[in-house]
């Protein structure tokens, strides 16, 4: 390679594309974040760190960080746990495994914006199926007829009905107490099928001989074999699944845009939606670029931490 330059013709296009499509946009965004530039203006002012100062001092942006981190902390561990659990259950099935794979993977293949609209109808406080099911739970004659006064002489659930069924059912997307949790639930529903497929791929790489060896050494129960063999051998898969799930959770946008638009009271004002609102709707490209740079730093730090603390323990 020292005498020939042919290798530059092979790696040159890839390096050029990386510079144009990955590095250059980040550099441009970093430069714009130091300005007050807006589309249509003939010029702009260099304002330095003013946009970043606003990000970390104003209350609306503190809500953005809180909503994003809360969403990630809800979605990542639950979707990873459900993905691993469903993968273990499906891999243990002899019949019907392919059917369950297809069912659990359907939310991943479906267009998330279309699914968000379906969820909007399901969670409607008046005609939605979720609240309709909750209302049917207040029909004592249907659910708790066997505890009627004619049978026992008294109704032990009378006080419970008085406190629960007289309350209004939640506005799942219109109440700040429930909105972010509802969005996170939809994110879990959409993400765990993808994690299941990744764990199924990881399970196929675990040598069967290790289970036989563990059983010969006294690991008779399925839990012991999982703890001694499956869990450590899935180490690289854990790293990949957690990293990808975290990045995808930070990138949540479709459901927020379709269902809540960052509300109510900015309880679902996540970072990607804030970029869209500031950079596109309000044409504040400087502030939108600043949010973009902070988002990239968060994702980079998260990835490096996970790789350092987890990946170093999983290679054998």
Please tell me the total count of domains within the chain. 2
Q: What is the CATH number of the domain that holds 71?
A: 1.10.3720.10
User: Is 229 among the domain residues?
Assistant: yes
If asked whether residues 165 and 175 sit together in one domain, one would say no
If asked whether residues 67 and 116 sit together in one domain, one would say yes
If asked whether residues 103 and 143 sit together in one domain, one would say no
If asked whether residues 164 and 262 sit together in one domain, one would say no
CA distance 100 to 95: 10
Q: Which residue has the tokens 């909503």?
A: 67
The range of the structural domain enclosing residue 94 comes to: 59-125+171-313
Q: Which residue has the tokens 């530059």?
A: 8
CA distance 198 to 102: 14
Structure tokens at 233: 């051998």
pLDDT at 298: 87
CA distance 122 to 217: 52
If asked whether residues 270 and 164 sit together in one domain, one would say no
User: Is 79 among the domain residues?
Assistant: yes
pLDDT single digits (tens) 67-114? 999 999 999 999 999 999 999 999 888 787 888 888 888 888 877 778
pLDDT single digits (tens) 230-257? 888 888 888 889 888 988 999 899 889 9
If asked whether residues 110 and 145 sit together in one domain, one would say no
pTM of the entire predicted model? 0.83
If asked whether residues 178 and 230 sit together in one domain, one would say yes
pLDDT at 272: 92
User: Is 160 among the domain residues?
Assistant: yes
If asked whether residues 163 and 185 sit together in one domain, one would say no
User: Is 208 among the domain residues?
Assistant: yes
pLDDT at 15: 92
Alpha helix segments (H runs only) across 123-270: 129-136, 140-143, 149-152, 158-164, 179-204, 208-216, 222-225, 231-233, 235-250, 254-255
Cα 46–Cα 50–Cα 56 angle in degrees, nearest 5: 155
Which residues in the chain show pLDDT less than 70? 1-2, 137-168, 309-316
């Amino acid at each position: 390679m020292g005498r020939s330059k042919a290798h530059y013709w092979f790696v040159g296009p890839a390096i050029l594309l990386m510079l144009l499509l990955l590095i250059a946009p980040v550099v441009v965004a970093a430069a714009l974040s130091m300005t007050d530039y807006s589309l249509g203006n003939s010029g702009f002012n260099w304002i330095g760190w003013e946009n970043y100062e606003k990000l970390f001092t104003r209350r609306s942006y503190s809500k953005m960080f809180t909503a994003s981190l809360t969403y990630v902390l809800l979605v990542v561990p639950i979707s990873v746990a459900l993905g691993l659990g469903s993968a273990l259950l499906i891999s243990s099935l002899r019949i019907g495994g392919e059917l369950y794979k297809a069912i659990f993977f359907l939310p991943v293949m479906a267009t998330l914006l279309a699914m968000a609209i379906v969820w909007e109808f399901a969670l409607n406080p008046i005609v939605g199926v979720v609240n309709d099911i909750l209302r049917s739970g207040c029909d004592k004659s249907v659910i708790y007829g066997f505890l009627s006064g004619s049978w026992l002489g008294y109704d032990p659930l009378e006080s419970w009905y008085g406190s629960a069924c007289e309350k209004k059912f939640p506005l799942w997307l219109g109440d700040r107490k429930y909105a972010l949790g509802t969005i996170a639930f939809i994110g879990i529903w959409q993400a765990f099928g993808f994690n299941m497929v990744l764990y199924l791929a990881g399970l196929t790489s675990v040598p069967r001989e290790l289970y036989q060896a563990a059983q010969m050494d006294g690991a008779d129960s399925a839990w012991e074999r999982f703890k001694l063999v499956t869990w450590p051998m899935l180490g690289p898969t854990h790293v990949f699944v957690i990293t990808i799930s975290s990045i995808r959770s930070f990138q949540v946008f479709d459901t927020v845009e379709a269902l809540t638009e960052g509300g109510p009271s900015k309880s679902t004002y996540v970072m990607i939606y804030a970029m869209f609102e500031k950079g596109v709707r309000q044409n504040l490209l400087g502030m939108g670029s600043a949010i973009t740079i902070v988002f990239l730093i968060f994702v980079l730090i998260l990835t490096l931490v996970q790789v350092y603390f987890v990946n170093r323990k999983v290679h054998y």
